[in-house]
Amino acid sequence: MSGNDSITVGVLALQGAFSEHLELLKKAAEQIETPKKIGFISVKTPVDLEKCSALIIPGGESTTMALIAERSNILEPLREFVKVHRRPTWGTCAGMILLSEAANRTKKGGQALIGGLSVRVNRNHFGRQVESFDAPLDLSFLGNDEAPFRGVFIRAPIVESILPKEECCTNASSIVAVRQGNVVGTSFHPELTGDLRMHKWWLGEILKDLTRREELLHAQENH
Amino acid sequence: MSTALPVNGNHERSAPSTDFTVKTGLARMLKGGVIMDVVNAEQARIAEEAGACAVMALERVPADIRVQGGVARMSDPKLIKEIMEAVTIPVMAKARIGHFVECQILEALGVDYIDESEVLTPADNTHHVVKHGFKVPFVCGCRNLGEALRRISEGAAMIRTKGEAGTGDVVEAVKHMRTVTAEIRRAVLMSDDELYVYAKEIGAPFDLLKETAKLGRLPVVNFAAGGVATPADAALMMQLGCDGVFVGSGIFKSGNAAVRARAIVQAVTHYNDPKVLAEVSCDLGEAMVGLNVDTLPESQKLAKRGW
């Protein structure tokens, strides 16, 4: 892990739109105030993942990413990262599918998932590419009186069923954003819009998580 | 006055029906992936299990089109439907250059991307399809920057090198990618007045050329295609700056399709790691036989189709 005043945030780069997230994260980091130095890396191997305090799993093809993860021996380390070390992890579109405990409409024989969100997602919920669209979203967690967020939905999944304990981030009947503890999932692609608000919000959540960890460590040392 | 005769021919569709972000967005999701040519549902499943990020549904792979000759057209919609039902990953299909009705049919079938492709026999030797009016996004081939920007100007949301399909010889794909890159490098250094002249020279719209110069790359996702046959070929194209790879005949014309397909997928993800490339290149069985582009008669070269 990184030292106290610098942290590393990773974007899983097995396949998909990872460069877009890296670009927006770098821009977002310039706009938030923190004494910590935040570095960003693309993650392709378990060694890369070990350096990270938090991770984005990008959009792409979830079946492809799951197969490559298995064959690159990074699937188990990813599960540990999310579910044992409980590091902040955000999945967009395919990334949200991988972070779910269950998925519908998977390929024949099913697909491997990382898990972490106690939800069932429905893949390609809105249909094929000709049914892809964008729509303004009210995301209350970004703050009151914020302008709508442009949600780009590409062959997007939605959360079909959810356990009562999760904090649900939408008032619509189709759930397109979800959070459970350290794990966040969104159906849509903030990385395609140039809107930094979600990335800034998430970096803020990472910093809160780090403070909590440091306090915990401190408390343990004092006992 | 008698009533007016109808004016037939309404193919010039009205204003763009969908936002370009949604069309280019899917191409961005395909980055770092391999799109594989498949001719039936069984091959499509093999491709999906290998980790393909999409499949291209067609009746004959380019290598067979070469051997069998004749006019190559859009595939039977029934075949495309069977492939769409067999897999959950995106399904692309090819239409002939300029054949906007084949495109309308493919859109009605619900394919996820249309490849207006020189691999099929062109239906129009002057015009390409005006792609803005379609809700389905398009990918088109290019040999150089001017050709790429003309296609984007017509509405293509993704570009690929043409290479020389069905040969298993990567030399043309390398040439086309190097040409595009070299031309972009030249444009990056140019002032506006020079860019106007350069736009004229390469037959590209000024605004797109300027945007390309500013970005230092094509404004849409750019895949390699046409001759990729091995994991090393795929990694070569990635290191040359492509965003992903199409593999046509290279997989299902080889000895062990499933193993080779998996190896090429791993090679595209880990294209910068020679150790992984060495590992995945082992024991793949026979590669497709291949044709040397050098010995190919001019009349059999597909890349020169398209204008």
Nearest chain B residue to A59 by CA distance is B29
Q: Is A62 on the interface with B (CB under 8 A)?
A: no
Question: CB distance A63–B48 less than 8 Å?
Answer: yes
Task: Determine which helix (DSSP H) or strand (DSSP E) holds A160, and give its type and residue range.
Answer: strand A158-162
CB A97 within 8 A of CB A53: no
Which chain B residues are Cβ-neighbours of A129 within 8 angstroms? 26, 90, 111-113, 136-137
CB B70 within 8 A of CB B95: no
* B9 located within any domain: no
Domain that holds residue B220: 21-280
Picking from B48, B137, B269, the nearest residue to A15 by CB comes out as B269
Give B36-57 pLDDT, tens digit per residue. 999 999 999 999 999 999 999 9
Give A152-205 pLDDT, tens digit per residue. 999 999 999 875 555 555 555 789 999 999 999 999 999 999 899 999 999 999
Question: CB distance B90–A192 less than 8 Å?
Answer: no
Q: Is A59 on the interface with B (CB under 8 A)?
A: yes
Give A26-50 pLDDT, tens digit per residue. 999 999 999 999 999 999 999 999 9
* B98 located within any domain: yes
Which residues of B, range 23-62, sit inside 8 Å of A by Cβ?
A: 25-26, 28-33, 45, 48-54
Nearest chain A residue to B108 by CA distance is A130
Residue A75's SS3 state is helix
A191 noted as active-site residue: yes
* Contact residues for A12 (Cβ-Cβ < 8 A; gap 6+): A18, A42, A43, A55, A56, A57, A58, A65, A78, A95
Q: Is B90 on the interface with A (CB under 8 A)?
A: yes
Nearest chain B residue to A155 by CA distance is B26
User: Which of A12, A15, A105, A123 should be substituted to probe chain B, the one whose Cβ sees the most B Cβ atoms within 10 Å?
Assistant: A15
- What is the rounded CA–CA span in Å between residue B247 and residue B93? 14
Q: pLDDT band for B289, please (50, 70, 90 cuts).
A: confident
* B84 located within any domain: yes
| Average pLDDT of chain A to the nearest whole number | 92
Report which DSSP code applies to A174.
S
pLDDT at position B131 over 60: yes
Which chain A residues are Cβ-neighbours of B110 within 8 angstroms? 127-128, 130
Q: How far is A35 from chain B (nearest CA, A)?
A: 32
Give φ, ψ of B34 to 5 degrees: -120, 130
Which chain B residues are Cβ-neighbours of A44 within 8 angstroms? 269-270, 273
B94 noted as active-site residue: yes
Picking from B48, B87, B136, the nearest residue to A130 by CB comes out as B136
Taken in order B50, B52, B57, B59, the sign of the CA dihedral is negative
Q: Give bridge partners of residue B91 from the DSSP assignment.
A: B55
Q: How far is B294 from chain A (nearest CA, A)?
A: 34
Percent of the residues in chain A that have a pLDDT greater than 70, as a whole number? 94
Nearest to A154 by CA among A203, A75, A97: A97
- What is the rounded CA–CA span in Å between residue A97 and residue A109? 16
**Domains: count for chain B:** 1
User: Which of B19, B24, B28, B34 should be substituted to probe chain A, the one whose Cβ sees the most A Cβ atoms within 10 Å?
Assistant: B28
CB B207 within 8 A of CB B187: no
Q: How far is B193 from chain A (nearest CA, A)?
A: 30
Tokens matching residue A41: 């890396």
* B141 located within any domain: yes
CB B165 within 8 A of CB B249: yes
Tokens matching residue A120: 């069932």
Which chain B residues are Cβ-neighbours of A124 within 8 angstroms? 88
* B53 located within any domain: yes
* B288 located within any domain: no
Tabulate helix, strand, coil % of chain B (nearest 5): 45, 10, 45
Q: Is A144 on the interface with B (CB under 8 A)?
A: no
> What are the residue ranges of helices labelled H in B124-205?
145-154, 171-188, 192-202
The predicted model scores a pTM of 0.94
Question: CB distance B48–A124 less than 8 Å?
Answer: no
- What is the rounded CA–CA span in Å between residue B226 and residue B172? 7
**Which is catalytic among the residues A52, A125, A160, A191?**
A191
Question: In the predicted model, what is the mean pLDDT of residues A54-68?
Answer: 98
* Contact residues for B270 (Cβ-Cβ < 8 A; gap 6+): A44, A72, B235, B276, B277, B280
CB A146 within 8 A of CB A180: no
Q: Give bridge partners of residue A55 from the DSSP assignment.
A: A10, A89
- What is the rounded CA–CA span in Å between residue A95 and residue A85? 18
Name all contacts of A164-171 with Cβ < 8 Å and 24+ positions apart.
A165/A118, A166/A117, A166/A118, A166/A119, A169/A139, A169/A140, A169/A141, A170/A137, A171/A138
Give φ, ψ of A25 to 5 degrees: -60, -45
Picking from B87, B136, B262, the nearest residue to A107 by CB comes out as B87
Q: In this structure, which CATH number among 3.40.50.720, 1.10.540.10, 3.40.50.880, 3.40.50.150 belongs to the domain A6-222?
A: 3.40.50.880
Tokens matching residue A4: 């106290």
Q: How far is A216 from chain B (nearest CA, A)?
A: 38
The CATH number linked to B251 is 3.20.20.70
Nearest to A184 by CA among A195, A176, A193, A192: A176
- What is the rounded CA–CA span in Å between residue B258 and residue B243? 23
**Which is catalytic among the residues B31, B78, B94, B253?**
B94
Q: Is A180 on the interface with B (CB under 8 A)?
A: no
Tokens matching residue A27: 């821009």
Give A107-140 pLDDT, tens digit per residue. 999 999 999 999 999 999 999 999 999 999 999 8
pLDDT for B17 equals: 47
Range scoring the smallest mean pLDDT among A4-8, B46-50, B99-103, B143-147: A4-8
